Structures are given as C-alpha cells and as structure tokens.
C-alpha cells in the first residue's frame, strides 16, 4: 500500500499536477507557486523530464526517433529517480512545500498507452511515495490542441504520438493518442484520489479552487519562512548606470 508523504511523517508536503498536454496544468502550478511565495511559504518546484543526468540523452533520442516505448519509460524513470533522490526528498525533509509539474501518474498513463505493461510500469516507480494532493486538469481534446497551437505553429512528434503510427495526420494522431492517455488517467483517478478540475474553465476560476483546496488541506502557517527572503544586494553605481543606458537604448 503506497503512502503519502504526510502518512510517512515527512515534515514537508508534495503537491502534483497532472493532465494532457495543453490542459493548462503548468500555468496553474506556476500561479500556485507565485501565490505561495507571496505568502512567505518555503516552496520548491520540479518538472517532469528535467534532470540534468538524462536530459541530453532524452533530447538526442527524440531527435533521432530512437526511443522505443520501453526505452522511453526507463529514461523517464531514471529522470524521476534522480530528481526524487537529489531534490524532492531532501526538500521534503527540510519542511518545504514541493510542487511537481507531473509525477509518476504521467508514466502510468503515457507508458501504458504506448504499450508497456501496467504492472511493470508501476513496479519501476514503487520506490516513490504518493503526493499529498494531486490535481488532475481535465480539458476537452480540442481545447488542449488549440492551447498548444496558440503557443507554437505545430505539434511535436512524440506529443502527437506519431511514433505509434496511429495516423499520418499529426492532429488526428494527437486526438487518438491523447484520448487514450485521458482514458488511462480517468481509470486511476479514483485509486489515487485525484482532484479532477474542469480545465475548460477560465484560469482565474481554476486557480481560486486550487488555492482553496491547498489552504484547506495543508496548514500553510507551518511552512512560512521565519524571515523573509533577503533582497538582492544593490547594484554598484557604475553597473546601475550601464543598465540604465542599455534600457534606454533598447
């Protein structure tokens, strides 16, 4: 039986967000981070596939389209294990509120959709404790697709599931691939007590709900810094003058 960090008596708490690409989850966790910082809370942020240990290998594998579903799964598990041991656990032991943009549930949904056996995927993440809160941002596929295309001209190869040869049309492939991932997420939502958010709503309304839930479930006063973060040192006069000249020239 997997336990949360609170159940394991860690001083810190971990909040994770999950959702399809384009669901708006990254925007919501960024806003949550800014709010917690403004409240003086000790907070740390980590995102999926960001470990320096494997980032370059993952990037090369994607560019050359060398990654099989199993390789993909193992690389992401290595990335997660590195961040978990070197960043997440130490900060949770130090009494921080840790925010994760994606957690092990991304692997449970994506890797299984790519054809990896569910028990095998879960087995390689069995070292990880569960988050104390998981928000799942559930958006319509067309909403997710439109949000992605607002920020860049085309879909990424793996984001659209093109490696699975679901369709020659990347947009249709995206709908099929992400639709299957959504099914996997919804299948585990009850088991892992996801707080399912209507990600079609406007950003402000969603963020108000997120803050309310966090405030109700976590005693934030326990995580306040005793002293505010120090202000950066004042710039030397000559450097300040140089930056002012650069600003005027810009």
Compute CA distances 182 → 91, 94, 126, 143, 174, whole Å: 31, 35, 22, 14, 12
Q: Do the Cβ atoms of 104 and 2 come closer than 8 Å?
A: no
Above 60 in pLDDT, residue 241?
A: no
Domain extent listing, the chain: 13-249
pLDDT in tens, 198-236: 999 999 999 999 999 999 999 999 999 887 655 566 656
pLDDT for 50 equals 79
Q: 């070197």: which residue's tokens?
A: 86
Cα–Cα distance, 200 to 206 (Å, whole number): 9
Cα–Cα distance, 193 to 150 (Å, whole number): 32
**CATH number of the domain located at residue range(s) 13-249 in this protein:** 3.40.50.300
pLDDT for 238 equals 54
Q: Give, in degrees to the nearest 5, the angle at Cα 244 between 240 and 245.
A: 120
**DSSP states along the chain:** ---BTTTTT-SSEEEEEEE-TTSSHHHHHHHHHHHHHHTTB-EEEEETT--TTTHHHHHHHHHTT---HHHHHHHHHHHHHHHIIIIIHHHHHTT-EEEEES-HHHHHHHHHHTT--HHHHHHHTTTPPBPSEEEEEE--HHHHHHHHHHHSSS--TTTTTGGGTS-SSHHHHHHHHHHHHHHHHHHHTTTTT-EEEETTS-HHHHHHHHHHHHHHHS-GGGGB-SSPPPPPPPPPHHHHHHHHHHHHH-
What pTM does this model have? 0.85
- Taking residues 7-22, report their average pLDDT: 96
pLDDT for 179 equals 94
Above 80 in pLDDT, residue 64?
A: no
pLDDT for 230 equals 59
Give the distance from CA 4 to its chain's centroid. Answer: 17
pLDDT for 5 equals 98
Averaged pLDDT score across all residues of the chain = 89
Above 60 in pLDDT, residue 245?
A: no
């Amino acid at each position: 039986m997997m336990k949360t960090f609170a159940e394991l008596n860690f001083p810190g708490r971990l909040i994770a967000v999950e959702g399809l690409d384009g669901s708006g989850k990254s925007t919501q966790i960024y806003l949550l981070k800014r709010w917690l910082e403004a409240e003086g809370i000790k907070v740390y942020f980590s995102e999926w596939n960001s470990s320096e240990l494997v980032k370059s290998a993952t990037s090369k594998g994607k560019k050359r389209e060398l990654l099989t579903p199993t390789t993909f799964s193992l690389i992401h598990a290595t990335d997660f294990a590195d961040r978990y041991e070197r960043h997440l656990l130490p900060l949770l032991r130090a009494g921080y509120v840790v925010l994760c943009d994606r957690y092990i549930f991304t692997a449970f949904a994506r890797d299984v959709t790519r054809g990896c056996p569910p028990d095998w995927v879960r087995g390689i993440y069995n070292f990880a404790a569960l988050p104390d809160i998981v928000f799942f941002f559930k958006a319509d596929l067309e909403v997710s697709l439109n949000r992605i295309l607002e920020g860049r001209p085309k879909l990424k190869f793996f984001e659209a599931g093109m490696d699975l040869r679901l369709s020659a049309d990347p947009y249709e492939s995206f709908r099929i691939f992400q639709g299957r991932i959504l099914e996997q997420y919804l299948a585990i939502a009850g088991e892992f007590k996801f707080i399912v958010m209507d990600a079609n709503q406007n950003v402000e309304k969603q963020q108000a709900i997120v803050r309310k839930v966090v405030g109700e479930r976590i005693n934030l006063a326990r995580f306040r810094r005793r002293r505010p973060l120090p202000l950066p040192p004042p710039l030397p006069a000559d450097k300040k003058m140089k930056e002012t000249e650069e600003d005027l020239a810009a």
